[in-house]
Structure 1
Amino acid sequence: MNFTGAICIAFVIVLVSSLALTNAAVEDEKVLACNPKELNPCSPAVKTGSKPSTECCAMLKKEEPCLCGYINDPVYGQYIKSKNAHKAFSSCGIPPLSC
């Protein structure tokens, strides 16, 4: 095999590897996309302290990796820090936040 052939093979390997890493990063980004509006089904539980709905618990579990980020948000932080929100977290099996 000549030098040019070896370079071409190396280039293809690097290209395929970088595409695989790029696709993995895109998939991770989709999974970790945070959207606080997804927590709208939890509004009654957070506002009144009532038992959270099944839909609320599902959304809390989906958004769990994002909750600490929401604490610093001026709009959502007050809700995430509230006593009723922590009751909802506990009721849904979300461990206490350690942000």
Structure 2
Amino acid sequence: MRYGFVIDQDTCIGCHACTVACKTEHEVPLGVNRTWVKYVEKGEWPETKRFFSVLRCNHCSDAPCVEICPTTALFKRDDGIVDFDTDRCIGCKSCMQ
């Protein structure tokens, strides 16, 4: 079984509530993110449009962040979820490359 997210990008207002909820629910430490809200601007003045694009951890089957982590702080659970062990993380940010 694979898990995923359904996000209505058209209703996103860039409030970061999803980021806060994820960090709170999963005790994600300060400086580590599993949710990103990207601000996108298109067009030329005065015809410009700004919108937001939410990016989430996709729990990839061959997750490169798990492979590159030097301390195995990121690991794949038996159910396919990419999980994070805060005690093992050294803050090197290799997973963010």
TM-score (norm. length: structure 2): 0.21
Higher strand share: 2
- Which protein has the larger Cα radius of gyration, Structure 1 or Structure 2? 1
TM-score (normalizing by structure 1): 0.21
